[in-house]
Amino acid sequence: MKDNEHNFSELAPLVIPRDEHGISRKDISENALKVLYRLNKNGFDAYLVGGGVRDLLLDTEPKDFDIATNATPEEVRKLFRNCRLIGRRFRLAHILFGREIIEVATFRGHHMSDAGKNTASQSSDGMLLRDNVYGSIEEDAQRRDFTVNALYYNIADFSVRDYAGGIADLNDRVIRLIGDPETRYREDPVRMLRAVRFAAKLDMSISEETEAPIPHLAHLLKDIPSARLFEESLKLLQSGQGLDTYLLLRELDLFEPLFPILDEHFTEDMSSKTEQMLEIVLRSTDRRIGSGQRINPAFLFAAMLWYPVTIRTEEISFESGLSYYDAFMVASNDIIDEQVKTLAIPRRFTAMIRDIWLLQLRLSRRTGNRAFKLLEQPKFRAAYDFLEMRGEIEGGQIAELATWWRDFQSAGNDNKKTMLQDLNKATGNKKKPRRRRNPSRRRKPQANKET
């Protein structure tokens, strides 16, 4: 039996008193504290739990403040008018404070426990379909996914409770699954993605026993709803450590179930245009997140799928005889339709992906007033940024085109006109004067001939 497979109910938790840990209430959301205090005041156990405790102990700012309690969702709703209950697989209470949501979960129990109506349901592969089984804090800790997420901050005495060796793993910088890894992954295959995300986000390593089953269980992700995988993909690639996350996903065979279209474009030395683009766009995304700039998932997906689109375009054009533009339109629809089967990318994003792609065809057409009209396009800036990335990979005319657009954007109006005049001269696109008809040469109408 592995160290983390013990019977939690037989072991006393490691209790770290207030003066021996670094968590301060001033670093906890005021709204989370309100919920904790009200639950405690009404006789319920109330703990800050999971990533919030983990991040506070690592001296980083938590993204969310989640709460665990022995109050049922219905009891929580009675205490908070601003509460709504959500979830089918496991019932949760969301307490709304403007734009901030404090999530409150009832302690989870063992799947097979006899809890009356609150029973778990599993598929034939072991995946949890319904999980409304409530239990004790010890059972709840055992049901958590990773040891570093099974840490509880007790609002009653401000101590931290560790039921799974999470403090030791935090100190050793190790991501370790609680329980038998294969069983836990079969219950919820997304845990494999979470292991990678936490390892990359926290700059930790995945323990040997936690990592070992992942490659041969990666196919289980294909059974996960595409909407859920889309949300997970954003967490993975837009975490600020997207490049490291991608490399670890590739290493553990977890990237292909998310982006099966890209698999045939991968090489052993990671030198294909698709792989170069992935590295460039993910590094850029990480940099923007690190500097607090806004990012749009559509740009990321447009870059990731670009070279599959161009290759598919060439194939369609060759096989069908369609013009490049028409073949490009067909290929764009094909690639997006295939990708949304795996990741349910919303239409607002697929529309922007198409806009960015189409502008790649239009950016080379700059004569006349076209350049000025392109500057007015809502997606011009995104299309230009993407063109620059293509220039890094392809060089040649694409790199020259990106440089021209960079200079054109920053030029004054007079200089813009000069640039266009120079472009017209270089390409031989001089505006030809309209020929005026000579009135004297017009044909006189002939009289109708009698038949």
Residue 126 lies in a domain: no
Residue 36 lies in a domain: yes
| Residue 65 DSSP one-character state | -
The answer to whether the beta carbons of residues 419 and 412 sit under 8 Å apart is no
Q: Which helix (H) or strand (E) holds 415?
A: helix 413-427
Residue 94 lies in a domain: yes
Residues in contact with 283: Cβ distance below 8 Å, sequence separation at least 6, in sequence order: 243
Rounded Cα distance, 394 and 402, in Å: 11
Do residue 168 and residue 308 come from a single domain?
Answer: no
Do residue 16 and residue 156 come from a single domain?
Answer: yes
**Nearest-CA neighbor of 53 among 144, 139, 189?**
144
Residue 148 lies in a domain: yes
What is the separation of C-alpha 418 from the centre of its chain, rounded to a whole number of angstroms? 43
**Which domain-ending residue is among 145, 172, 199?**
172
The reported pLDDT for the residue numbered 431 is: 53
The answer to whether the beta carbons of residues 175 and 210 sit under 8 Å apart is yes
What CATH number did the domain enclosing 38 receive? 3.30.460.10
**Nearest-CA neighbor of 31 among 78, 66, 61, 58?**
66
The reported pLDDT for the residue numbered 217 is: 97
Residue 24 lies in a domain: yes
Q: How many CA atoms lie within 13 A of 189 on its CB side?
A: 21
Do residue 17 and residue 162 come from a single domain?
Answer: yes
Do residue 168 and residue 303 come from a single domain?
Answer: no
Do residue 20 and residue 164 come from a single domain?
Answer: yes
Burial 277-292, CB ≥16 within 10 A → b, else e: bbebbbebbbeebeee
Return the amino acid letter for 383.
A
The reported pLDDT for the residue numbered 133 is: 82
374 lies in which domain range? 297-424
The reported pLDDT for the residue numbered 427 is: 72
**Model pTM?**
0.84
3-class secondary-structure state, position 266: coil
Give the angle 79-143-75 at the CA atoms, nearest 5°.
15
The reported pLDDT for the residue numbered 219 is: 96
Count the domains in the chain: 2
Residues in contact with 81: Cβ distance below 8 Å, sequence separation at least 6, in sequence order: none
pLDDT along the chain (451 residues), means of 10: 45 88 95 97 96 95 94 95 87 94 92 47 49 84 94 96 95 96 95 97 96 97 96 95 97 97 94 97 97 94 98 95 95 97 96 96 90 92 96 96 94 90 75 54 51 38
The reported pLDDT for the residue numbered 157 is: 95
The reported pLDDT for the residue numbered 120 is: 47
The backbone torsions φ and ψ at residue 394, rounded to the nearest 5 degrees and listed phi first, read -90, -25
Helices 347-362 and 297-320 cross at an angle (nearest 10°) of: 60
The reported pLDDT for the residue numbered 435 is: 57
3-class secondary-structure state, position 140: helix
Q: Taking the chain, what is the end-to-end CA distance rounded to the nearest angstrom?
A: 111
Tokens 């813009």 -> residue: 416
263: its two tokens:
């698999």
Active site residues: 64, 66, 145
The backbone torsions φ and ψ at residue 141, rounded to the nearest 5 degrees and listed phi first, read -65, -40
Residue 449 lies in a domain: no
Do residue 168 and residue 25 come from a single domain?
Answer: yes
What CATH number did the domain enclosing 376 receive? 1.10.3090.10
**Which domain-ending residue is among 142, 172, 202?**
172
71: its two tokens:
């109050």
Residue 73 lies in a domain: yes
Residue 191 lies in a domain: no
